[in-house]
Amino acid sequence: VTPADKAQLSEELSAYLDGELEPPRSLEVEALLTEAREVRDLLHEHRRVSQRLCALPRVTAPIDLGAMIHEQIQSIPPTVSPKRAFAGAARIHLGVTGAAAAILLLAFSFWDFEPVSRHAAPSPALTAADELGRVMSETDQPDDRQWAKVTPEELEALQGLGYVGGSEDDAVAFADVLDRMEPVGGRETSVVLSAAPSVGESTAATDQGEIPTLIAKASPELAGGSPTTPGPLIQVTVQPPSAASFRRALALAQTVEPTKKEQPTADRERRDYAGSASPDSISSLLRALDRESPDGVRITMNFALSEIAQAREILREPTAEPSPAPTASERLAGRAIRAGADQVMDAPTAQARKDIFFQRGAPPVGAGKPSASRAPTTSEGASVQRESNSPVADSDDQRHPLVAAARQRSVESTADNAGRGNLSRGPAPIVGDMAAQAQLLQPYVPGLLMPWIPPAPPALAAWGKESISLGITVLPPPVHQPASSRPTETPAKP
């Protein structure tokens, strides 16, 4: 009898003790028990431990636990809290379909939903997946055609901030690039796994190998104000991004079961997001993502302009002036982001992309491709991350006060989270006003403004959102470009 056999037998005895051994083997084990004292002794040992555990006194909950839970549940905002109103306004469509392509979205992760408990008692943070589930269950605006209300100008700005399509190869290549990137100043970069506009279209396009065409087609439709399909609205973001996690997410997304559009059902929950994917599929996807990504999965939501405007209304201080309409320069910001994206994606090598991405020192607005002399070395890029977590000042702080400020906030945030017993997974987010974060992004994206982010609202605290992080990802092709003239080059795989 080898040690391996003994170990196997020991495990089988443990299962036998629990009545969980398959019948044929169970009979064999019983025979062994009759024959061999050693086997009986082993079973006895297992039983002894098990019985001791069973004999441990059961601990019951404190008498006030139920009341405390009830109290906390009551404190969860009812129907029209800002948070819910904001979330409820989001048209939530998980457009990942059975055959959906992965499309990388260039985006700000506008509002990164990572709810943190706001109760006094230290408690683990809720996951974004839960938040999404909650939002999904509460969404009460099944009509998701508001995209049609977006003006061409707004659309242009949104596209700049928003998404540009790419093929699956693009996506994976990009994920490979991201693999080599370090987070900047405490922020994390997002890879967004997204969807085609509709189940039908994505399926057809996939069948025909025309995913890029499909995406290029989607935006003009939206601009025309008579969309036949809703735009891709929700993206599953895997953070920290890696090629492996992206591939897993992609594989998972492809298993999501689509449901028929406008499927008649009496179940309101289903009706709310019928037409995208079934609730079970979404739950399954989220669970799997959560499991597959031990460092955390975040859900990033992108919103239509009308919703962003609504969010601004909600988040605005009561005494503040109404938010002005986006200015021309704000609209230009989107283009600026794309310019930054182009810089990265046009770089000949992965290392060059990384260098550009991490370049520090604000380049002039409208600057072209960065020169080699401006691109920092790999070690410099890595040092940004170290700085953001290190309380030790160095000369970089002098040159880049914004980076130093970000670092300081990151340190404070970490201390704050530790003090609260915040068990949120992943690096501590920068807690602070978004305007400052927007400024911080400027060195990395020439000419960047932050048009759609409301100014540092204290009201955030009121709806329990203690962290807001911004992510930026980059993608190559312009949306308006027809598929035929779309650049065909795929980013070089590192």
Residues at the interface with other proteins (CB under 8 A): 10-11, 14-15, 18, 20, 45-46, 48-50, 52-74, 76, 78-79, 117, 119, 121-124, 126, 130-131, 133-134, 136-138, 269, 279-280, 282-283, 286-287, 291, 418, 421, 423, 425
Burial of 324 (0-12, 13-18, 19+ CB in 10 A): exposed
The nearest distance, CB 419 to other proteins, in angstroms, is 11
The nearest distance, CB 129 to other proteins, in angstroms, is 8
SS3 letters for 127-179?
CHHHHHHHHHHHCCCCCCHHHHHCCHHHHHHHHHHCCCCCCHHHHHHHHHHHH
The residue among 84, 248, 109, 130 whose CA lies nearest residue 189 is 109
The nearest distance, CB 123 to other proteins, in angstroms, is 4
Q: Which is nearer to other proteins, 342 or 412 (CB)?
A: 412
Pairing of strands 111-113, 234-238: unpaired
Q: Which is nearer to other proteins, 27 or 418 (CB)?
A: 418
Beta-sheet strand order (sheet of 111-113): 111-113, 297-301, 234-238, 191-193
Q: Which is nearer to other proteins, 48 or 149 (CB)?
A: 48
The nearest distance, CB 483 to other proteins, in angstroms, is 37
Residue 46 has phi, psi (to 5 degrees) of -60, -45
Q: Which is nearer to other proteins, 10 or 408 (CB)?
A: 10
Q: Which is nearer to other proteins, 131 or 179 (CB)?
A: 131
Give the whole-angstrom CA distance, residue 143 versus residue 411.
43
The nearest distance, CB 138 to other proteins, in angstroms, is 7
Q: Which is nearer to other proteins, 46 or 312 (CB)?
A: 46
Angle between the N-to-C axes of helices 23-35 and 3-17, in degrees from 0 to 180, rounded to the nearest 10: 110
Give the whole-angstrom CA distance, residue 196 versus residue 230.
10
Length of the chain: 494
Give the whole-angstrom CA distance, residue 134 versus residue 77.
12
- For the record, the structure tokens of 346 come out as 């046009």
Q: First CA to last CA across the chain, in angstroms?
A: 50
Q: Which is nearer to other proteins, 15 or 367 (CB)?
A: 15
Q: Which is nearer to other proteins, 61 or 266 (CB)?
A: 61
The nearest distance, CB 459 to other proteins, in angstroms, is 21
Residue identified by tokens 């492996």 is 244
Angle between the N-to-C axes of helices 211-223 and 199-208, in degrees from 0 to 180, rounded to the nearest 10: 140
The nearest distance, CB 418 to other proteins, in angstroms, is 7
Looking at residue 238, the DSSP 8-state letter turns out to be E
* b/e per residue 81-100 (b: at least 16 CB within 10 A): bbbbbbbbbbbbbbbbbbbb
The nearest distance, CB 113 to other proteins, in angstroms, is 12
Residue 480 near residue 219, CB atoms below 8 Å: yes
The nearest distance, CB 14 to other proteins, in angstroms, is 4
The nearest distance, CB 66 to other proteins, in angstroms, is 2
Q: Which is nearer to other proteins, 61 or 372 (CB)?
A: 61
Q: Which is nearer to other proteins, 45 or 489 (CB)?
A: 45
